[in-house]
Each structure stands twice: as structure tokens, then as C-alpha cells.
């Protein structure tokens, strides 16, 4: 029996790509760097430093530190607060809570903007836990470890949880913990057959009701 629904964040609950991509472009420009690859929605998902290395083509820690600082200054103070939820997610989350399901977030996004967006959307009371890439330094290095930490901290049996995300990497992280993965079709990832992503948040509610 499913008691917990665990969510990815960017590309699953919120459409954060426009703001994030704008901040990548502006951070590179502030340091006089050209993008070495297209700045598009395929960049959304991995941790910030990893993505900055990819778009800058540089692995110099000092330069990446400077780029990350510029990005955070732009994004955390105002841009992230304008992030919209996907159509139907607000209703879906409230419906899940009304059904007595407990919800949590496991995201590669940093904790400060994640909490900022949650507050801006009025979702503070919906999630029993929010775990981000920097929530527990040294405790985990990837999303699989993050999901494992979430299960441990909340005392959740893997068989009682599902993880909802928008990329194949989300599916791998769930599988590493024995958690059932439900992919969504409205985010930034693409799935190969035989995956059958959920078309809308309403379909997630319907699937849970019929499970």
C-alpha cells in the first residue's frame, strides 16, 4: 500500500527552466565566457556546479565558484520566486494530502531556492520533508543516496513509496532504492518505450486511485 509520494522538483512540480536558463546565460556573460553548448531545457536536472562545468567547458574550481556565486545572486534573490507550478500540480498536491498521503521532495536543486519557490507557491504545509543537493553535505553525493536518506529519516518502507520524476536518471535513482518510479511527460526528460509517462497530474491521481 502506498503511503508516501516522493517528488522530484524541477520539471516535475515546477517549470523552472526559463528562469534557470536565463541565469546561466547572465552568469556566463558576467564573466566574459561564451556557452560551449546550447543553453536549453536539457540542462535542467543535474547539480549546479556540474551544469556550470558543462556550459562553460571549464573545470577550474575557482572559476566555477565565481560562476556559481553569480548564478546564485541572480537566481536566489528574485528569479526563482517567479517560478510557476505546472498546470494541475497545485490541485494534485492538495488532493494527495486530502487522501492522507504523505509527500516529500528529493531534488538536485539547492535547498534555498527550493524552499523559496515552495513558499512563493504557498506549499509549505504540503511536504513532510524537502531534501536537496546541499541539505546534508557529505551524507550523499547523488539522488539515489538522497532518496535512501529520505526513506531512512522518515521510516518509509521502499514498497510503500513511489518516486515521481521527469527524467530517466530519476528512475535510476528510485530503482537503486527499490522504489517504484512513475515518470511524467510534462517535464524536461524523454523516456524510451516501454516507459509510459503520466500525461497530466490528474492521471497521477487516477492511477493512485486504481492501484
pLDDT tens digits for 73-127?
Answer: 999 989 999 999 999 999 999 999 999 999 999 999 999 999 999 999 999 999 9
Judged on CB neighbours under 10 Å (0-12, 13-18, 19+), 122 is: exposed
CA pair distance 129, 205, nearest whole angstrom: 21
Q: Per residue in 4-57, pLDDT tens?
A: 999 999 999 999 999 999 999 999 999 999 999 999 999 999 999 999 999 999
pLDDT at 211: 78
Q: Is the pLDDT of residue 193 over 80?
A: no
> Average pLDDT, stretch 133-158?
97
pLDDT at 192: 83
CA pair distance 49, 168, nearest whole angstrom: 20
- Edge-to-edge order in the sheet of strand 161-165: 127-131, 102-106, 4-7, 161-165, 180-183
CA pair distance 57, 18, nearest whole angstrom: 21
Cβ pair 8, 107 in contact under 8 A: yes
Q: Is the pLDDT of residue 154 over 80?
A: yes
CA pair distance 211, 205, nearest whole angstrom: 10
Q: Is the pLDDT of residue 175 over 80?
A: yes
pLDDT at 22: 95
pLDDT at 195: 73
Angle between helices 61-77 and 17-30 (to 10 degrees): 130
Domains belonging to the chain, first-starting first, are 4-15+84-210 (3.40.50.1000), 17-81 (1.10.150)
Amino acid at each position: 500500500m502506498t503511503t508516501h509520494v516522493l517528488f522530484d522538483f524541477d520539471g516535475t512540480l515546477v517549470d523552472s527552466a526559463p528562469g534557470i536558463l536565463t541565469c546561466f546565460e547572465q552568469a556566463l556573460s558576467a564573466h566574459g565566457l561564451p556557452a560551449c553548448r546550447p543553453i536549453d531545457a536539457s540542462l535542467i536536472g543535474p547539480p549546479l556546479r556540474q551544469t556550470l562545468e558543462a556550459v562553460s567547458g571549464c573545470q577550474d574550481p575557482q572559476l566555477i565558484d565565481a560562476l556559481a556565486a553569480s548564478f546564485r545572486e541572480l537566481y536566489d534573490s528574485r528569479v526563482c520566486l517567479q517560478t510557476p507550478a505546472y498546470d494541475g500540480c497545485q490541485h494534485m498536491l492538495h488532493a494527495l494530502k486530502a487522501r492522507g498521503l504523505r509527500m516529500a521532495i528529493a531534488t538536485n536543486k539547492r535547498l534555498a531556492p527550493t524552499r523559496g519557490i515552495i513558499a512563493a507557491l504557498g506549499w509549505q504545509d504540503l511536504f513532510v520533508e524537502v531534501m536537496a543537493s546541499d541539505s546534508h553535505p557529505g551524507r550523499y553525493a547523488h539522488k539515489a543516496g538522497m532518496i535512501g536518506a529520505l526513506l531512512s529519516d522518515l521510516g518509509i518502507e521502499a514498497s510503500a513509496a513511489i518516486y515521481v520524476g521527469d527524467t530517466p536518471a530519476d528512475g535510476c535513482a528510485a530503482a537503486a532504492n527499490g522504489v517504484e518510479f512513475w515518470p511524467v511527460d510534462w517535464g524536461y526528460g524523454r523516456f524510451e518505450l516501454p516507459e509510459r509517462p503520466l500525461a497530466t497530474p490528474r492521471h497521477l491521481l487516477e492511477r493512485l486511485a486504481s492501484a
